[in-house]
Chains A and B, each alone.
Chain A
């Protein structure tokens, strides 16, 4: 036996010894890896941890006869930190599953580590299509909608209601351009037209001049292909010029609306995967959630965190093991009927497909309380919006002919 083969078999032996301890000790250890303090901590962050803890509590705190352990870590929105944290928790804590949120770049890096180690990933706060597309993982599932569904969901509906000519305000980076392109495609597909676009730098303080250009173009609709602070600035400044009712936003979370106030955001339409005031189940849970965090309305990311962890735990109980492969198969087999998503199912590439909501922000008069933010205007069937597993570009499910 040559040295090479010897080393290889030694490594193999070490690997196969370590593997059972890693994945199949039948005690479920769950890591919440999220942006706890940075730019996206409002739509994920500490409230995601709360949602996960509630999911575990509501499940009874234990599965397969052993208590469920919830750990959390702050990746600070930095891919290198996220990646090494993921690896550390895999190696030292033998976690079975991690939930991912915050910047998609970090989530993708962490999902990569998890895929190598055979760990289940639940993506609740990553809105890039790559999670279930070209960088899909064998045991990964994406519960958050992607920029594609968010843009198409709202753009198509708005065009059909008569908002045919659009002007885009686009943040000058990959995410903004992607969002803008998705929306433009959807507008044109629905028979509308994009009249123009202003590209603005990231984190700008002044969007009023871009809004004026948009107004000057005579467009019916001003599409906001930006997020976070830029989105809030645009919404705030549109009000000065009486343009609020022309705005259509692609990626808005309830925390953005809460921070801006209904006075500034009323009338804005957007797509969302779920909303706490959607049905009795979401209302019951949402009320408990807000009682525990001091009144922060759950975002679609928080709802997805609760729903995905619940579904994972159900799958573990049904499979009778925490082995990633068995659990993953069960997750796809079991119906997703917890009530947090409508007509939901999981595709082979890990994409969770459901009906999307088209919502409109209430005016202060329409709102019945601080948490009453949206009115659900329409529901868009999931099949019309999401890519199929074959179309997604996921190498694991790509057509092989």
Chain B
């Protein structure tokens, strides 16, 4: 059997697939963060809580209404988006234009409230969440195990990420958004309703988080702290990609998932610091991140 680093190829390719799978979540979450930061200049610390919310809404709708997974994949993120609209209208808009620190503290506070409420309502134990029947199988390709659901997540995340990138970088709506961040008064002068644009942007970022939450529910623990376990790494991913860079967030999400996955094979104990080590190195040589523009 062919080997690399003393590890049989099928095992190694299995680990690479896993790295990409985790990378898919990093990419989806850091993409939402990058969109929100890029356009609103808000560091959204509530992102992990919104991710958790997506998973819990899916869990509850599945329990109460018996909705199938496919429906949940649409309905739950939309509900998270609706919550985000309310949050933006009531709270977040008051900190625009202030030091980014205020937005960070506000969203961090909201995250603590959401997580505390989830813990109060659902306790600390995880909730059961099954994979959709159609995707629960496993294929073997050349000795490599290919769980269908994980491949599905990677593909869907990739499509979503590329779609978002195209929406912002290649469409007229995206052009308005980018213009509004560059020079808001000028865009308003052209008759564009910028506040609505900002609300929609925040809701869209939250929707992406909720979407990741639903996709993560069958694999990760559905619990009050599922987001806070992930969000720190995601912030590191955003910083490595370059704050506010859409393409950078996507690329670094998948890349870091891969690096982390390979570390788990070679030296598992280092797996949860490798992302931060890379972050330190990147910041040392390129303070604005791999894909960021120098400020």
Residues of chain A touching chain B, judged by Cβ–Cβ distance below 8 Å, are 37-39, 41-42, 172, 198-201, 203-206, 208-210, 212-213, 215-216, 229, 232-233, 236-237, 240-242, 255-256, 259-261, 263-264
Contacts and interface: CB of A to CB of B under 8 A. Distances in A.
A198 B225 CA distance: 24
B220 A233 contact: yes
B119 A37 contact: yes
A213 B150 CA distance: 18
Interface residues of B, number: 39
Contacts of A259: 125-128
B63 interface: no
B124 A38 contact: yes
A199 B270 CA distance: 10
A379 B115 CA distance: 42
Contacts, number: 97
Given A42-B123, A212-B15, A205 B138 contact: no
A199 B271 CA distance: 10
Contacts of A209: 15, 18-19, 261, 264-265, 268, 271
A263 B272 contact: no
Contacts of A241: 138, 145, 147
Given A42-B123, A213-B11, 19 more contacts: A37-B120, A37-B124, A38-B124, A41-B124, A42-B124, A199-B268, A199-B269, A203-B225, A205-B220, A205-B230, A206-B18, A209-B261, A232-B126, A233-B221, A236-B221, A240-B219, A259-B128, A261-B130, A264-B128
29 contacts: A37-B120, A38-B124, A39-B124, A172-B269, A199-B268, A199-B269, A200-B268, A201-B271, A205-B221, A209-B18, A209-B19, A209-B264, A209-B271, A210-B264, A212-B14, A215-B145, A216-B7, A229-B124, A229-B126, A232-B125, A232-B126, A233-B221, A236-B126, A237-B219, A241-B147, A259-B128, A260-B128, A263-B128, A263-B130
A232 B119 contact: no
Contacts of A213: 11, 264-265, 268
Contacts of B150: 240
B149 A240 contact: yes
A203 B229 contact: yes
A242 B139 CA distance: 11
B163 interface: no
Given A240-B138, A255-B125, A212 B220 contact: no
Contacts of B238: none
A383 to B, nearest CB: 34
A263 B131 CA distance: 10
Contacts of A240: 131, 138, 147, 149-150, 219
B22 A229 contact: no
Sort A-B residue pairs by CB-CB distance and give the 7 closest, nearest first: A261-B128, A209-B264, A216-B11, A240-B147, A42-B125, A259-B125, A201-B272
A301 to B, nearest CB: 14
B226 interface: yes
A199 B267 CA distance: 10
B200 to A, nearest CB: 30
A261 B222 CA distance: 13
Contacts of B229: 203-205
Interface string B190-217: 0000000000000000000000000000
A232 B221 contact: yes
A140 to B, nearest CB: 27
Interface in B17-40: 18-19, 21-22
Contacts of A264: 128, 130
Contacts of A212: 11, 14-15, 18, 145
A260 B15 contact: no
B164 interface: no
B28 to A, nearest CB: 14
